[in-house]
Structure 1
Amino acid sequence: MADDFTKSVEDGLKLAKRIYFGKDRSVTPPKPVSMDKSSKSYLPTAPMVYAVVFDPAIVDNPDIPSYQPHVYGRCDPAALIPLQMNGIALEVDCYLDTAFVTLTGSWRVHCVMGSRSCDCRLAVPMGEQGSILGVEVDVPRKSYCTQLITMEENKDMEKASRAGDGGFLKPHIFTLTIPEVDGGSNLSIKVRWSQKLLYHDGQLTLIVPFHFPEYVTPAGKKVSKKEKIQLNVNCGTGMEVLCKTTSHPLKEIRRQVGKLSFSYEAEVLTWSSADFTFSFSVPSSHIHGSVLLQSPSVHDVDQREIFCLYLFPGNQQTGKVFRKEVVFVVDISGSMRGKLLEDTKNALSAALSKLDSKDSFSIIAFNGEIFIFSSSVQLATKEAIENAIQWISMNFIAGGDTNILLPMNKAMELFSHSPGSIPIIFLITDGSVEDERHICDVMTSYLTNEESIHPRIYTFGIGLYCNHYFLKMLAMIGRGHYDAAYDANSIELRVERLFTRASSTVLANITIDDLEDLDDFEVYPSHMPDLSSESVWTVSGRYKGNFPDTIQARGIFADLNNFVTDLKVQKAKEIPLDRVLAKQQIGWLTAQAWFSENKQLEEKIAEMSIQTGVISEYTRMILLETQGGAQVSEPGRVQEPPKTMEYQRPVVDSKVQKIILLQSLGVGFGNVNATAENYPPGSEEVKLPEAAEIFVKAASNCCAKMCGYCCCMCCIRMCTRMNDQCAIVLTQLCSALAILGCFSCAELCCSGQEGG
């Protein structure tokens, strides 16, 4: 899908050369586009809007109609012409390690003649673990907004609504199509999403995609272009917050204990050419944290009180981390062939090279069988790591089916359980198997013995054929962490991040005391993970009763000394805990719902999803079209944060004319059949038809030359005089040969020339 998208944008940029901007010296077209053929060149690096052009003949300046050589035929798939942007505003609210981003912008359909219309496609790249929360669009005479519905409502709407193509182009790029926008119209769009802050060396870093290409800058130099950013930080600690770095010249407008506010506003010649980044820290050399409490809203499906307990590892550069006994359990079934296995081998080699000489390791490769590097964990000496990398190159050969239980059982047998070390199983797979619930039960039985430190399980899923909720459940049982690469190109980066997290444990066996008097207490995740120096530790949940004023957190340091700290309990008056915790809680609850097959829990998750705007496996996103809807906020204008942070579900009223059902945005629960057939991840993508490049490449005077050499016009005139039966017979007999002939002729006529 991403390759098709970038090809369509490349075709659209060539087609855009037809647009005439006038002879006035103050009006010039954007600079020529770089002809870099990299597949990343045309993927959006900031929120973008594109005109979806099937008919090249409609491409023209809506203000200055010009003579254009007529183009016959259609672009299939459609060419995507990036629209010029008139204004942009970014508002970011950071709470703990989560950021809520609201982007408001205005774009103009500058490339379609005023008498015609086209669909417009919105593409929104989001930051780390981004989750789309909602989109609002305002065009002349119509407005659109997204809404989440339950699966029961989805069944009813599937019959009454038309299907849309909204979904994820890449795991971090959300797309949505706005239908039938007139040429020359302005689109006002507001997009909301959440994302995680990165944590490293005691610093939290926000990275928002905000790098706009030159060709979205309006052609007229006299056009006012305003860029605005507002940033609010509330770390919840009640401690001083120190700013570290920023990409844009922010001005501090408010500072309180634990809180900061900044703004930036400027008239610009060109739009931002860098992502918006901001780093800050809560200076402390030791582990510290707090407990936040909040009452549920009246619309909350769960009326128990909300709590959030978090720990910052502090600056642990000199802190001691646990020694590790790591068993890498790696899928080498037939579906892992090619790039997937090569990237996994590279990621595994990089992980081995980062082991300390005091660490121990072994490797198990599996398909229907298992292949073991060593019968027990061995010290990570330089020689042992070199032997392991050589063993990987010889034994990692994709083939066979998938059996996960066999290697997991074997991995449990390899640990030596030496004092002061943490046993870790690091599982990497792209497949789903039938006995996943049984595997969870078996792993639970291993982890209920009397050992002081049980084996930890870290899981990593590749693609959409593996059951990510099984892997999440397995990680929760093993007090580890889970991550995934839905996109094969991100395997190495994400495996490295997860292994770094596993390698930097500074506090294990964390427990919470003084909660015995609560009437009802539920925590997510149910098995508390360890604290890493590379992440903020967060658990949350619901309770009934009187929460104590302070509680104690306990754990074990790497030197086996005990850790005890008092955590102050406070009300979270300005932090929307239900929204901050929603994605994490929905993920854990979905894993539990899958494992227990609990329908009531599924219904609860659906209500939580609708209440908070966070997508889930049990809800579906729709697009509502309203005639004469309310205006979206003025583009480029940053508004003050609303008084209430509660998500308001849109209400369908009598003005709604159309309901567009978008593609499912969940990752699903795996595909056992695809795994059994060894389908590689990525083959689940629906491929678009091959592009008829002749009509895009011939978008300008090249088309006139082509028509002079071949008989396309004659064929068209002849076909207009045929009756339907004759046309059907001719199509069945000659269509394939005729298309191939036209393509060959066009290639001969246009070879060496760029369209336009």
Structure 2
Amino acid sequence: MAEDFARSVDRGLNLSKRIYYGKEPPKLLSMERKMPAAAESNLPTAPMMYAVITEPVIVDNPDIPSYQPYVHGRCEPPALIPLQMHAVAMEVDCYLETVFVTVSGTWRVHCVSASKTCDCRVAIPMGEQGSVLGVSIETPSRSYCTELITTDETDDPVKLANAKDGFLLKRQIYTLKVPKVVGGSVLSVKVRWSQKMLYQDGQVCLSIPFSFPLNVNPVVKKLSKKEKIILNVNSGTGTVVCCQSASHPLQESNRSGGNIGFIYESEVFMWSTNDFSFSYTVSSVENSCGLLLKSPSRHDFDQRNMFCFYLYPPHDILGKLFRKEMVFVVDTSASMQGSPLEHVKTSLQSALSKLDPEDTFNIIAFNDMSLSFSPKMEPATKETIDNAIQWINLNIVANGSTNFSLPLDQAMKMISKSKHSIPLLFLITDGTVEDEREICEVIRCQLTKGGLNSLRICTFGIGYYCNHYFLQMLASIGRGYYDAAFDTESISSRLERLFSSSSSIILADIKIDALQYLDSLELYPNSLPDLLSGNPLILYGRYHGNFPDNVEVKGTLADFSNFEIGVKVHKVMDMPLERVFSGRQMSMLTAQAWLTGKKELENKVIRLSLQTGLASEYTRMILVESEKGKQISKRETLKEVMMTDSTVRKILYLRQLGLGFGNLKATADNLPPEAAEPKLHETSDAIFTAAANCCGKLVDCCCCMCFIQFCSKLSDRCAVTFTQLCTALACFECINVCCEICECCDFCQ
């Protein structure tokens, strides 16, 4: 689907060459036309708006109408022309691992005749683990805003089930369409999303898509373009923020303890061409850990108190890692054929090459059968690794169906009882099976004792057909980590990161003494994972009871010595913990609801989703259209909206944004992961007809702007006749006529 989007933008850029801007095209326009076209570069790298063009004839400058070669036919699928942006501002709020981003901007429909209308599509690229929180759009006559509803709030479940718009490209670019916008209109757009910060080389790193292509810069001369970024960082308590790098020239605006604010505001010649990035470090060992307490607000449906514990990897133990025993369990069913399996094999070979000689490993390839590299764990010597790589190339071949139980059972039996290492099991799959609940229960029973040397389970899902909640639950039971790739290109990078980070354990068997004395406790994740050299350990929970002023945290280091640290407890008011950890909490609750089938857990997810604005498996996003000045109040329910005058308010149903619970039929049929991607355009696979054959060749093979300027110098009757003649010749592939005009006309000299 991402490729379809890029192709539609490429067609739109070709169509936009029909637009006449006057005798002297702006400098930015000339620069843009000299840049080489690349399909991948046509995907949005910042919040964008596009005109959706199905009728090429409507493409024109709404301010300066010009004589155009008439185009017969339609754009199927529609072309997407990037709209010109007139203003942009971004506000970023960082809390520990979570970032909330709000981008406001204005775009003008500069490419459609003033007497015509077109749909407009908004695209919102998000950073690491991004989740859209809301979109609001103002047109001259109407306003649109997204809301969350439950599935029982609508009287038309058919419309809900057949919703076509509002979806994710590559699971990281959210897009939806606004209908019938008049050419020349100015759109005011506000988009909100959340994403995660990464921890790299001792720094907390943020990266937000904020790189705008040249074609969004207005061609109007003397138009002031102001760019504004506000950044607020709340890292906990104490003076812990030390800025390390920033992509834009930020100025510090305020600082108070662990809170620090920055601002950047400038009048620019062109919009930002770099993503916004920022990194900071924790300044001292004393501030590398903390426990925060917060009381619920009166609007919170859960009136239990909240706590957050964070522990950053101490610098003095970063290089000391536990010895590893690693078993890789790899899905080789027929659905993994091609790029998915090749990416997995590349990542697997990379992981093996990074093992130390004292580590041990094994590999199990499975479909409906299983095949292991060795009947026992093997030392990671150079010779053994070379043999394993040869075995991978010969034996990891896509074929057959999917069965988890047998390979998981084999892997757990292979793990030795050594007291000098931590065993790790990695499960990689793109499918789902019927006995996943039984698998979770069996493994839970086998790991009940826990302890330092118990098995850690890490899981990796590919595409939409696997049950990601099963994989999350399995990782939680095994005190490991979960990750996923929803497009083929990201498999290698994400899988290698999971291998590298999950195996870099520096502190294991962690215990927080105060937790056992609470009256009740709900913890996310459910069990305490290990501290990794590349990730801080962050826990969130709800509780009844009382925390002491100081708590003790204990664990075991890689040399099997004891680790102890005292953590001071702080009460916070300015950190919205319920929002910061809502994504983590909802994912875990949904996994528990899937495993147990308890309706009360589903209801809890629904209430949390509606409270935080984060879509879930049990809620849906809708787009509410209303006349200007008659926006819907937050207090109104969907049923109340539906009862109002339909000409005033209209509900547009959007697609489900959840991951789903796997697809047994698709797994049984061995459908490839890419088959699950929704289609960008719900049309037949028609070609880009007359618009591509005629106008596309005019603008690509000749100087179309010269032709338009030439026509503008003729009388009306002569111009119309000449335009019709050239269009007819273009339809017969006679493009040379236009080329001859360009060679001899005064405009080309």
TM-score normalized with structure 2 length: 0.90
**SS at 1:86's partner residue?**
strand
Aligned 1:300-315 pairs, distance under 5 A: 300-315=300-315
Deviation (angstroms), 1:300? 2.1
Deviation (angstroms), 1:157? 6.0
Aligned position for 2:677? 685
Q: Distance in 2 between matches of 1:515 and 1:473?
A: 22
Which runs of 5 or more structure 2 residues have no equivalent in the other structure? 702-729, 743-749
Deviation (angstroms), 1:239? 3.2
Aligned 1:503-582 pairs, distance under 5 A: 503-582=503-582
Pair 1:659-2:651 in alignment:
yes
Aligned position for 2:280? 280
Correspondence for 1:671 among 663, 670, 673:
663
Aligned position for 1:588? 588
Pair 1:433-2:433 in alignment:
yes
Q: Distance in 2 between matches of 1:42 and 1:751?
A: 29
| CA displacement 1:583-608 (0-9 Å, x = unmatched) | 01101111111000111100110110
Native 8 Å contact 1:331 1:402 kept in 2: yes
Deviation (angstroms), 1:692? 2.5
Q: Distance in 1 between matches of 2:275 and 2:29?
A: 25
Q: Which deviates the most, 373-382 or 663-672?
A: 373-382
Deviation (angstroms), 1:614? 1.1
Aligned position for 1:617? 617
| CA displacement 1:114-136 (0-9 Å, x = unmatched) | 11111100001000111111011
Q: Distance in 1 between matches of 2:550 and 2:669?
A: 55
TM-score normalized with structure 1 length: 0.89
Deviation (angstroms), 1:71? 1.0
**SS at 1:434's partner residue?**
coil
| CA displacement 1:160-212 (0-9 Å, x = unmatched) | 99945111022110001111111000011111111111101210011000111
Q: Which deviates the most, 592-601 or 446-455?
A: 446-455
Q: Distance in 1 between matches of 2:653 and 2:567?
A: 46
**SS at 2:40's partner residue?**
coil
Aligned 1:12-27 pairs, distance under 5 A: 12-23=12-23
Native 8 Å contact 1:201 1:317 kept in 2: no
Pair 1:442-2:434 in alignment:
no
Counterpart residue type for residue 688 of structure 2:
E
Q: Specify whether residues 7 and 25 from structure 1 end up closer, same or farther in structure 2 by C-alpha distance, changes over 3 A only.
A: closer
Deviation (angstroms), 1:703? 7.3
| CA displacement 1:347-377 (0-9 Å, x = unmatched) | 1111111112221101000011111111111
Aligned position for 1:694? 689
Deviation (angstroms), 1:323? 0.9
Aligned position for 1:473? 473
**SS at 1:566's partner residue?**
strand
Native 8 Å contact 1:53 1:75 kept in 2: yes
Aligned 1:37-186 pairs, distance under 5 A: 38-154=38-154, 156=156, 158-159=158-159, 163-186=163-186
Q: Distance in 1 between matches of 2:660 and 2:450?
A: 36
Q: Distance in 1 between matches of 2:524 and 2:634?
A: 25
Deviation (angstroms), 1:496? 1.0
Aligned 1:414-429 pairs, distance under 5 A: 414-429=414-429
Query: How many residue pairs get matched?
Result: 706
**SS at 1:127's partner residue?**
coil
Q: Distance in 2 between matches of 1:570 and 1:751?
A: 76
Q: Distance in 1 between matches of 2:216 and 2:106?
A: 11
Q: Distance in 1 between matches of 2:653 and 2:272?
A: 34
Q: Which deviates the most, 225-234 or 541-550?
A: 541-550
Q: Distance in 2 between matches of 1:543 and 1:355?
A: 41
**SS at 2:293's partner residue?**
strand
Q: Distance in 2 between matches of 1:79 and 1:701?
A: 12
Native 8 Å contact 2:93 2:101 kept in 1: yes
Q: Specify whether residues 752 and 308 from structure 1 end up closer, same or farther in structure 2 by C-alpha distance, changes over 3 A only.
A: farther
Q: Which deviates the most, 299-308 or 286-295?
A: 286-295
Pair 1:367-2:367 in alignment:
yes
Q: Specify whether residues 62 and 526 from structure 1 end up closer, same or farther in structure 2 by C-alpha distance, changes over 3 A only.
A: same
Q: Distance in 1 between matches of 2:629 and 2:324?
A: 59
Q: Which deviates the most, 378-387 or 226-235?
A: 378-387
Counterpart residue type for residue 443 of structure 1:
I
Aligned position for 2:379? 379
Which runs of 5 or more structure 1 residues have no equivalent in the other structure? 633-646, 707-744
**SS at 1:224's partner residue?**
coil
Q: Distance in 1 between matches of 2:279 and 2:663?
A: 40
Native 8 Å contact 2:590 2:602 kept in 1: yes
Q: Specify whether residues 26 and 446 from structure 1 end up closer, same or farther in structure 2 by C-alpha distance, changes over 3 A only.
A: closer
Pair 1:267-2:267 in alignment:
yes
Aligned position for 1:232? 232
Counterpart residue type for residue 690 of structure 1:
D
Q: Distance in 2 between matches of 1:44 and 1:411?
A: 43
**SS at 1:515's partner residue?**
helix
Q: Distance in 2 between matches of 1:704 and 1:189?
A: 31
Deviation (angstroms), 1:378? 1.4
| CA displacement 1:387-420 (0-9 Å, x = unmatched) | 1111000001110111101001100111223223
Deviation (angstroms), 1:519? 2.4
**SS at 2:74's partner residue?**
coil
Native 8 Å contact 2:160 2:653 kept in 1: no
Aligned 1:444-459 pairs, distance under 5 A: 444-449=444-449, 452-459=452-459
Q: Distance in 2 between matches of 1:702 and 1:240?
A: 59
Aligned position for 1:199? 199
Pair 1:392-2:388 in alignment:
no
State percent identity of aligned pairs. Answer: 53
Deviation (angstroms), 1:517? 4.0
Deviation (angstroms), 1:524? 1.4
Q: Distance in 1 between matches of 2:32 and 2:302?
A: 56
Deviation (angstroms), 1:545? 2.4
Aligned position for 1:711? none
Q: Which deviates the most, 688-697 or 503-512?
A: 688-697
Q: Distance in 2 between matches of 1:424 and 1:338?
A: 27
Q: Distance in 1 between matches of 2:498 and 2:278?
A: 23
Deviation (angstroms), 1:648? 6.9
Q: Distance in 2 between matches of 1:483 and 1:468?
A: 9
Native 8 Å contact 1:161 1:659 kept in 2: no
Deviation (angstroms), 1:39? 3.5
Native 8 Å contact 1:695 1:703 kept in 2: no
Q: Specify whether residues 748 and 86 from structure 1 end up closer, same or farther in structure 2 by C-alpha distance, changes over 3 A only.
A: same
Q: Specify whether residues 295 and 699 from structure 1 end up closer, same or farther in structure 2 by C-alpha distance, changes over 3 A only.
A: farther
Aligned position for 1:482? 482
Counterpart residue type for residue 390 of structure 2:
Q
Counterpart residue type for residue 685 of structure 2:
E
Native 8 Å contact 2:28 2:214 kept in 1: no
Aligned position for 2:628? 628
Q: Specify whether residues 287 and 392 from structure 1 end up closer, same or farther in structure 2 by C-alpha distance, changes over 3 A only.
A: farther
Q: Specify whether residues 184 and 704 from structure 1 end up closer, same or farther in structure 2 by C-alpha distance, changes over 3 A only.
A: closer
**SS at 2:149's partner residue?**
strand
Q: Distance in 2 between matches of 1:356 and 1:432?
A: 34
**SS at 2:61's partner residue?**
coil
**SS at 2:128's partner residue?**
coil
| CA displacement 1:476-503 (0-9 Å, x = unmatched) | 0000000000111100000011111112
Native 8 Å contact 1:202 1:316 kept in 2: no
Q: Specify whether residues 314 and 362 from structure 1 end up closer, same or farther in structure 2 by C-alpha distance, changes over 3 A only.
A: same
